[in-house]
């Protein structure tokens, strides 16, 4: 088809050595990022109006289903099921530019690409995700992948987590959680519960000293789920440390430094030795957004909570982890955000009022043991927003059905539902 050959042409243009410096292209809608958010929103826009000319600017060769990384770390998924070539998930109807966006000139409706070319748009969608700040913890980057230091947040490293969990028969296992916000706030402890469950089932749990070090002051941000999690903390004999932030790691000496700060702002560093460390880095918006006029005070994209339109620039929208809206940064949030952005963006192109509203839905399937999940689903302000029936989401109780959903259904729904514009349980609310 024409669209097909158009896409091939764009990709070929970019990988060839021809210089495009100074050239300006134009597309009606330009989407920055081809992750969970960028691809889903392209499909949702196309579904509403198949004639809209859409470009996605995305440098990566592969697209990752990151929610699956917890399951790889727990020995449930093979790593291969969490990743596909970008060319396979890129919709045929978009023009794909395999480049990073290096600058946004929102006053002139233009973005700059890594090859020096520029692109003009009528409407812009920002979906570049967030930046994992590995350098924010001294020594972590060098330590990762050996001496028992791992992170399910690192592409390709969750299988090392599973390796060392199986090998550990005794000693100390540390799990850290950085300051909020992070993507999938439950993931640092999901890794811990799945590891503990394995040690319990293999009769070595009593020989493993498990410590959770959380920069924050609570186990989980939505209070309703805390008692259920605390029951598992007790079951596994986990030692909880709050306001204890991982600041340095030394792989060869197998030591970690945690900083605790008291009410008066006095801080104290404590060195803890380990046999295994699952570390999660601090996270922030990508520099492209953080250091632009499009950011809020915290550096995140400054969007209206309900319409997901930029607060100042009426032809700019955003969704996914980059958003400064107060929802949980999850792919589940993207499932609800993509149709809202699509509807409001199409309305903007047609000079119509914005009617679709996002109520802050996010979800976190808390894998408390292999075979059971507490399915946390909530919106802005921690208001519970169950979207699944009670046999799957039974309030704050762990269910086998929620595990079945995560282990058997969600990957398929992601690859073949959400990314393709099948808006499952995601009808936008009206403003």
Catalytic residues: 184, 364
Using CB under 6 A as the binding rule, the residues of this chain from 240 to 269 that contact ligand FAD are none
Q: Measured on CA atoms in the order 391, 393, 398, 401, is the torsion positive or negative? A: positive
> Looking at 27, 33, 303, 342, which residue binds ligand FAD (CB under 6 A)?
33
As a whole number of angstroms, the distance between CA 296 and CA 403 comes to 37
> Looking at 27, 69, 174, 310, which residue binds ligand FAD (CB under 6 A)?
69
Helix axes 158-167, 187-201, angle to 10 degrees: 30
- Residue 90 structure tokens: 């890129």
Instruction: Select the residue whose beta carbon is closest to ligand FAD and give its number.
Output: 35
Using CB under 6 A as the binding rule, the residues of this chain from 180 to 199 that contact ligand FAD are 183-184, 187
Between the CA atoms of 68, 179, 370 and 366, what dihedral angle is there, to the nearest 10 degrees? -90
> Looking at 74, 75, 91, 128, which residue binds ligand FAD (CB under 6 A)?
128
Output the smallest distance, CB 29 to ligand FAD, in A. 15
Q: Given the rule CB under 6 A, which of 305-313, 325-333, 336-344, 395-403 is the region that contacts ligand FAD?
A: 325-333
Residue tagged 């941000």 (tokens): 221
Q: Which is nearer to ligand FAD, 84 or 259 (CB)?
A: 84
Q: Which is nearer to ligand FAD, 52 or 328 (CB)?
A: 328
Q: Is 336 exposed, middle or buried (0-12, 13-18, 19+ CB in 10 A)?
A: buried
Residue 70 binds ligand FAD, judged by CB under 6 A: yes
As a whole number of angstroms, the distance between CA 99 and CA 14 comes to 8
Q: Given the rule CB under 6 A, which of 7-15, 127-135, 219-227, 228-236 is the region that contacts ligand FAD?
A: 127-135
Using CB under 6 A as the binding rule, the residues of this chain from 409 to 428 that contact ligand FAD are none
Torsion-angle region of 382 (φ positive above 0: left; ψ -120 to 50: alpha; else: beta): left
Residue 152 binds ligand FAD, judged by CB under 6 A: yes
Other C-beta atoms closer than 10 Å to the C-beta of 95 total: 21
> Looking at 75, 365, 421, 428, which residue binds ligand FAD (CB under 6 A)?
365
> Looking at 74, 75, 91, 100, which residue binds ligand FAD (CB under 6 A)?
100
Which helix (H) or strand (E) segment holds residue 289: the answer is helix 287-290
> 119 and 105 in contact (C-beta within 8 Å)?
no
Residue 10 binds ligand FAD, judged by CB under 6 A: no
> 276 and 173 in contact (C-beta within 8 Å)?
yes
Q: Which residues bind ligand FAD (CB under 6 A)?
A: 32-38, 57-60, 66-67, 69-70, 100-101, 127-129, 152-153, 183-184, 187, 286, 288, 320-321, 329-332, 334, 363, 365
């Amino acid at each position: 088809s024409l669209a097909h050959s158009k896409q091939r042409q764009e990709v070929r243009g970019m990988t060839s050595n021809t210089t495009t410096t100074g050239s300006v292209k134009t597309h009606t809608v330009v989407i920055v990022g081809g992750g969970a958010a960028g691809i889903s929103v392209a499909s949702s826009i196309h579904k509403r109006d198949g004639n809209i000319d859409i470009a996605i600017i995305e440098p990566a060769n592969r697209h990752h289903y990151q929610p699956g990384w917890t399951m790889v770390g727990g020995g449930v998924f093979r790593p291969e099921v969490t990743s596909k070539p970008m060319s396979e998930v890129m919709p045929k109807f978009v023009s794909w530019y395999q480049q990073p966006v290096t600058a946004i000139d929102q006053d002139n409706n233009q973005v700059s690409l890594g090859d020096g070319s520029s692109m003009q748009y009528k409407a812009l969608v920002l979906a570049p995700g967030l930046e994992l700040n590995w350098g924010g913890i001294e020594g972590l980057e060098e330590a990762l992948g050996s001496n028992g230091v791992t992170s399910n947040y690192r592409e390709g490293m969750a299988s090392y987590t599973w390796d060392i969990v199986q090998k550990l028969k005794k000693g100390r296992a540390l799990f850290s959680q950085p300051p909020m916000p992070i993507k999938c706030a439950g993931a640092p402890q999901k890794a811990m519960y799945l590891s503990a469950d394995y040690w319990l089932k293999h009769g070595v749990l009593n020989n493993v000293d498990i410590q959770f070090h959380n920069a924050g002051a609570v186990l989980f941000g939505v209070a309703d789920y805390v008692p259920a999690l605390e029951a598992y903390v007790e079951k596994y004999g986990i030692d909880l440390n709050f306001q204890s932030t991982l600041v340095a790691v030394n792989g060869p000496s197998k030591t970690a430094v945690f900083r605790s700060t008291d009410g008066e702002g006095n801080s104290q560093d404590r060195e803890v030795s380990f046999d295994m460390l699952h570390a999660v880095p601090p996270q922030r918006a990508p520099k492209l957004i953080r250091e632009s006029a499009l950011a809020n005070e915290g550096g995140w994209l400054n969007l209206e909570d309900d319409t997901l339109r930029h607060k100042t620039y009426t032809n700019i929208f955003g969704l996914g982890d980059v958003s400064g809206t107060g929802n949980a940064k999850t792919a589940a949030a993207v499932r609800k955000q993509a149709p809202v952005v699509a509807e409001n963006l199409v309305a903007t192109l047609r000079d119509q009022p914005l009617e679709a509203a996002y109520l802050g839905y996010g979800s976190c399937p808390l894998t408390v043991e292999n075979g059971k999940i507490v399915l946390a689903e909530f919106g802005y302000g921690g208001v519970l927003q169950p979207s699944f029936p009670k046999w799957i989401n039974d309030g704050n109780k762990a269910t086998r059905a929620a595990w079945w959903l995560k282990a058997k259904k969600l990957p398929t729904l992601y690859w073949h539902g959400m990314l393709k514009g099948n808006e499952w349980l995601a009808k936008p609310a009206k403003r």
